[in-house]
Structure 1
Amino acid sequence: MTEINMATHSNFKNALIAFLAPLPSILFYLSFLQHHNENNSLWNWCNHHPLLLANIMFFLNVNVLFWFISLLQSSLHWMIGLYWMLIPVMQLHFYANHPMAQYNQLRSWTVTILTCIWSIRMIHSYFRRENWQLGAKQDWRYIDMSHQYGKNWWWISFFAIYLSQQVLQIGICLPMYIVHTVDKPWSFLDFIAIAICLSGITIAFYADTQLNNFKCRNQKLKELGQPMVPNLEKGLWCYSRHPNYFGEQLWWWGLALFTWNLGQNWIFIGPLINSICLGYVTMLVEKKMVRDNYRVDAYKLYQKTTSVWIPWFKSSTNGKDKKN
């Protein structure tokens, strides 16, 4: 079998796995919608505990099943990255169509449209980054952790990758739940939330596009045997070392803002935890960047002159700015 045929076969196999993996939750959900009016203790419980039900389905279908699939695939934890972009859409549909849901129709439609736009943007970025393949590459952070924990990684991965994802995913998606439990009139604050969400999606899209183009150019230089450009310091990356992360945070904070007018200010704990986690990821990325000898000096200067997240004008070092 040729290398191309093997890649095609692997891509098809992983696509089939990705399609079948969430079916237990989907089938249970469809059965619940069909039978929720029946006088049954299970359906009655599901009727009155939508948030707990979402967490249980996440735990069993994502944490347990996805983790088990990863073990069968020699600890390849690629599926959780793919479904990071799909689970919010699935949660939103669950909350919006739950029998106990009550909400402002315009706000529900708005959050649904924005979430779909965000998801499409993320899926496009994911496949572009992975060269339109599924499960072909392992996240470098998981590789580092597997080396760190060695033979214990098989069970530690359940907590480090899957259970932690549940805390983040359910937490940052709580606004989708709150929006569908409170029916209050549309307000000016909703327009502000829309502006923040769209700004975040747009910034993240352009930042990812600029980064992808930069990596492609460097790959061509490497193939030609020419020196690679150490850092991306043009476009949005001239004003922030991680504009894609900044845009992603704007999206989640903007989503949480929809709940401010609904009297649920505590909901900001979700994006706050996510921001803290992304701050930790930023530290890991920056440590990884200075491991490469060809870029270490340039990147250290880049760190001194350029804001970490929030876009801002470059500062100077010894009166001179570093440029590409």
Structure 2
Amino acid sequence: MNHFWPVVVLSFLAAAVVMTATALTARRVGRVAVVDVAWGIGLVAVALVCALVAGTWQSWVLLALVAVWGGRLSWHIFRRSSGGGHREDPRYEAMLGGPLSEVGFALAVRKVFLVQGVAIWFVGLPLQAAAIWGVAWPVVVWVGVAIWLLGVVFESVGDAQLAAYKADPQRGPVMDRGLWAWTRHPNYFGDACVWWGLWVAGGLASGWLPAVLTIIAPAMMTYFLVFATGARLLEQTMMRRPGYPEYAARTSMFVPLPPRKR
């Protein structure tokens, strides 16, 4: 545990630097939603700090996993948001009580950027555990890589299928093709697998103590993906769309399962 304080402090500073730059960008463009693009970048910064401090093959593997996932996610969100003009995301307007120009920059810093910075550091705990303790069970790292790969496939394939559906002029009222026939939220399921894979490769592979101390990170991410800000919240809006209740009746909400009979 020679690297404890350097890893913990520098990881926090990395998240703080990314969120500070993101907040300044948000003030310049007038949109808080740019924070979504910075989420993946912030995790990459934390993973890079951990790899540089520890210098172990385990931390470099984790950096590669986070860089692939975070780079793809940030680019996907940036491309999607840039195609929608310069409108604010309704989620952030509801959270702040109005657009950034009306509520003020200080409120956005407290309620969005500060919270996101702490969250980046928090969910990066398995990366920090690997840098502090080092690998105890090397084979477990590769088990985590396999779980991570499953998650990335679900995220990327699900996003690609949804994009193809939106571009299809003959599409039906509800996306129920491919992975979306097995789960109503393949991207959220994939994201959860990514976090559990990183915990297995980082926290669990470093021993029982770091595993126990860091399991809260993927558990909390899964809770938010399913119940708080992810699937359940989106379902409230989607259930008002024609055909969606019928789709929901035959399709698993989160974990992929064979479609139920109509």
TM-score under structure 2 normalisation?
A: 0.84
Residue 276 to residue 262, structure 1, CA distance change in 2 (3 Å):
same
Change (3 A) 1:203 1:238: same
**What whole-Å deviation, never above 9, does each CA across 1:209-232 have from its counterpart, x for those lacking one?**
011111122xx46xxxxxx62110
Does residue 9 of structure 2 align to residue 52 of structure 1?
yes
Higher-Rg structure is 1
Output the CA distance in 2 between the equivalents of 1:53 and 1:110: 19
Structure 2 partner of 1:309: 254
Match of 2:186 in 1: 243
CA contact (8 A) 1:241 1:307 kept: yes
User: Quick one: which amino acid aligns to residue 237 of structure 1?
Assistant: W
Tell whether the 8 Å contact from 2:18 to 2:41 is kept in structure 1 after alignment: no
Number of aligned pairs?
253
Aligned residue for 1:22?
none
Q: CA–CA distance in 2 between the matches of 1:136 and 1:207?
A: 25
Structure with more contact order per residue of length (Cα contacts < 8 Å, sep ≥ 6) = 2
CA 1:51 to 1:200, structure 2 compared with 1: closer, same or farther past 3 Å? Answer: same
**Counterparts of residues 68-79 of structure 1 (less than 5 Å):** 68-74=24-30, 76-79=31-34
Of 140, 145, 164 in structure 1, the residue corresponding to residue 90 of structure 2 is: 140
1:283–1:149 CA distance, 2 compared to 1 (3 A): farther
Quote the Cα distance in structure 2 between the aligned partners of 1:167 and 1:214.
36
Corresponding position of 2:159: 208
2:211 corresponds to 1:261:
no
User: What is the CA–CA distance in structure 2 between the aligned matches of 1:205 and 1:191, rounded to whole Å?
Assistant: 21
Letter in 2 for 1:159: R
Going by fraction, where is helix more abundant, 1 or 2? 2
Structure 1: gaps of 5 or more residues? 1-45, 222-227
User: Any conservation in 1 of the 2:238–2:244 contact (CA below 8 Å)?
Assistant: yes
After superposition, the C-alpha distances for 1:78-112 in whole angstroms (9 at most, x for unaligned) are 331111121222111112212xx3x642x233222
Unaligned stretches of 5+ in structure 2? none
Question: In 1, are the aligned partners of 2:14 and 2:49 still within 8 Å (CA)?
Answer: no
Residue 174 of structure 1 pairs with residue 125 of structure 2 = yes
Compare 238-247 and 113-122 and name the one that shifted more. Answer: 113-122
CA distance in 1 between partners of 2:246 and 2:7 (Å): 50
Measured against aligned partners, the alpha-carbon deviations of 1:173-212 in whole angstroms (never above 9, x if no partner) come to 1222121222335532222111101111111110010111
The answer to whether the Cα contact below 8 Å between 1:129 and 1:212 also exists between their aligned partners in 2 is no
* Partner residue, 1:288: 237
**In structure 2, which of residues 195, 205, 221 is the aligned counterpart of residue 274 of structure 1?**
221
CA contact (8 A) 2:151 2:189 kept: yes
Task: Output the TM-score relative to the length of structure 1.
Answer: 0.69
Identity %, equivalent residues: 25
8 Å contact from structure 1 (residues 196, 250) kept in 2: yes
CA shift for structure 1 position 278:
1.7
What is the 5 A alignment of 1:1-324? Answer: 48-59=5-16, 61-74=17-30, 76-98=31-53, 101=54, 104-105=56-57, 107-130=58-81, 136-147=86-97, 152=103, 154-184=105-135, 186-217=137-168, 220=169, 229-258=172-201, 259-263=203-207, 264-265=210-211, 266-279=213-226, 280-281=228-229, 282-291=231-240, 295-296=241-242, 298-316=243-261, 321=262
On the 8 A contact 1:197/1:251 being kept in 2, the answer is yes
Give 1:193's aligned amino acid.
G
User: Does the Cα contact within 8 Å between 1:168 and 1:274 map onto a contact in 2?
Assistant: no
Cα-Cα RMSD? 2.8
Q: Is the 8 A contact 1:171 1:271 kept in 2?
A: no
